[in-house]
């Protein structure tokens, strides 16, 4: 089938809930992707961090194959021989006590919300059905109806109400403003250490540590959503480690599945996790033997291949290279580790057009909020490929800016 016929087939029989670039991918390896015609691309997206360890990492593929030769799915009606070890490895990595595996990141967020509310009633003695969770403006925690109810993005919310109460919104990055919202019914604070979908928004230095102190002072829970920022993305195993701001609960996903399958988890201190009892929460596929095998190997790969350190080192290279790009269309460059957002001025360049131009040059990424280009390559990327991607980004900026200037001149 031709590229266009494949795209047309998806458009005809699929939902139009995404606006993908006109690229049809067929194979991948490491930091490279290849389309149906064999063209190679440098991956600067990593499937929103789900492919942080690279595409088809041989160790992860081998671990999955070994498990497929042994056992597939038994549900949580019985024990499996690798679930406990997986939970132990993840809890130790996070410096917490217990792990509740799920599948998608949104499921793990929902798990955290349920845990926080029950903790609020059982431990903090908040009146029934009055518990509140403080969230941040600009957040993105998933697509379920309860989660989008506390989103501040109109595109996420339109047409999907009514929404559940119980969420209070604070400005992101302003610890004092958040503390002022804590009241007698506050059970928890739930934030992303870096807001990814919002455009890689990095809060002021000290913000995470301030949240830890505030939550301790008021006796409420601190929960970090590290579905995108976790497992090496920001140059540490978890972003909260940059400020030694260990949370009471941690939400992990995406990279935990090694790019092979959906694996997520809610990790917490024992006092929080123990609000769950049999029948209170669950998932048929959550923590299944294949997920546990892949998740354990992902944790090993993260440590044994020093990927967090690699992200820190190459992240500095990426930031320096991007800051050396001289173009009037660039408004701001922000990021941490191998996770950078470049804010563009729409008066000079259109972000989607820049992504299309980059794709034609062999670099794949995607804009967010119409003005930000994201750079989040697999942590296994080579420095030469990273620098080449930045060079091609510059070329794309020049092309799009020039084309816009010509268009304006023709209209005049």
225 flagged as catalytic: yes
Give residue 402's pLDDT: 85
Cβ 247 vs Cβ 190: under 8 Å: no
**Segment 321-347 mean pLDDT:** 97
Q: Which of 66, 170, 187, 80 is nearest to 126 (CA)?
A: 187
Would the pTM count as exceeding 0.85?
A: yes
Determine which one of 86, 140, 224, 285 is catalytic: 140
Determine which one of 238, 254, 285, 375 is catalytic: 254
Residues contacting 314, CB < 8 A, separation 6+: 338, 379, 381, 383, 386
Q: Which CATH architecture has domain 58-304?
A: 3-Layer(aba) Sandwich (3.40)
> How far apart are the C-alpha atoms of 102 and 12, rounded to whole Å?
32
Residues contacting 279, CB < 8 A, separation 6+: none
Does position 412 have pLDDT exceeding 60, yes or no? no
Give residue 287's pLDDT: 96
Domain ranges of the chain: 41-53+306-411, 58-304
A 10 A CB-CB count for 176 gives 10
> How far apart are the C-alpha atoms of 51 and 45, rounded to whole Å?
8
| φ and ψ of 382, to 5 deg | -85, 150
User: 112-153 pLDDT, tens per residue?
Assistant: 999 999 999 999 999 999 999 999 999 999 999 999 999 999
Q: Which CATH class is domain 41-53+306-411?
A: alpha beta
Determine which one of 89, 225, 248, 385 is catalytic: 225
Does position 241 have pLDDT exceeding 70, yes or no? yes
Q: Which residue has the tokens 């989103």?
A: 151
Beta strands 186-191 and 132-136, pairing class? parallel
């Amino acid at each position: 089938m031709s590229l266009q016929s494949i795209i047309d087939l998806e458009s005809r029989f699929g939902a139009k809930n995404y606006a993908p670039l006109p690229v049809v991918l067929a194979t991948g390896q490491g930091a490279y992707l290849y389309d149906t015609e064999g063209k190679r691309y440098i991956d600067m997206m990593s499937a929103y961090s789900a492919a942080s360890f690279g595409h088809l990492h041989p160790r992860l593929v081998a671990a999955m194959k070994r498990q497929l030769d042994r056992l597939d799915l038994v549900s949580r009606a019985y024990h499996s021989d690798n679930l406990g070890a997986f939970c132990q490895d993840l809890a130790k990595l996070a410096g917490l006590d217990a792990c509740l595996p799920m599948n998608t990141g949104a499921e793990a967020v929902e798990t955290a919300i349920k845990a926080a509310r029950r903790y609020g009633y059982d431990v903090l003695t908040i009146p029934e059905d009055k518990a509140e969770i403080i969230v941040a403006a600009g957040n993105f925690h998933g697509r379920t109806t309860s989660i989008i109810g506390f989103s501040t993005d109109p595109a996420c919310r339109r047409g999907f109400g009514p929404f559940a109460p119980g969420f209070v919104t604070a400005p992101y990055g302003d610890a004092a403003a958040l503390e002022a919202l804590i009241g007698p019914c506050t059970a928890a604070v739930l934030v992303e250490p870096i807001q990814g979908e919002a455009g890689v928004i990095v809060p002021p230095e000290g913000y995470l540590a301030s949240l830890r102190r505030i939550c301790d002072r008021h006796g409420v829970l601190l929960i970090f959503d590290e579905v995108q920022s976790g497992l090496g993305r920001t140059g540490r195993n978890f972003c909260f480690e940059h400020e030694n701001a260990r949370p009471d609960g941690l939400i992990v996903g995406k990279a935990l599945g090694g790019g092979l399958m959906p694996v997520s988890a809610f990790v917490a201190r024992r006092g929080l996790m123990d609000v769950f009892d049999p029948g209170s929460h669950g998932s048929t596929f959550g923590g299944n033997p294949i997920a546990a095998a892949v998740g354990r190997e992902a944790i090993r790969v993260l440590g044994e291949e020093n990927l967090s350190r690699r992200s820190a080192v190459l992240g500095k290279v990426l930031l320096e290279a991007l800051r050396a790009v001289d173009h009037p269309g660039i408004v701001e460059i922000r990021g941490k580790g191998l996770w950078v957002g470049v804010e563009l001025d729409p008066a000079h360049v259109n972000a989607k057009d820049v992504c299309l131009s980059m794709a034609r040059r062999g670099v794949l990424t995607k804009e967010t909020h119409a003005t930000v280009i994201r750079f989040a390559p697999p942590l296994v990327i080579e420095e030469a490929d990273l620098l080449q991607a930045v060079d091609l980004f510059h070329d794309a900026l020049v092309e799009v800016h020039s084309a816009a200037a010509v268009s304006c001149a023709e209209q005049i």
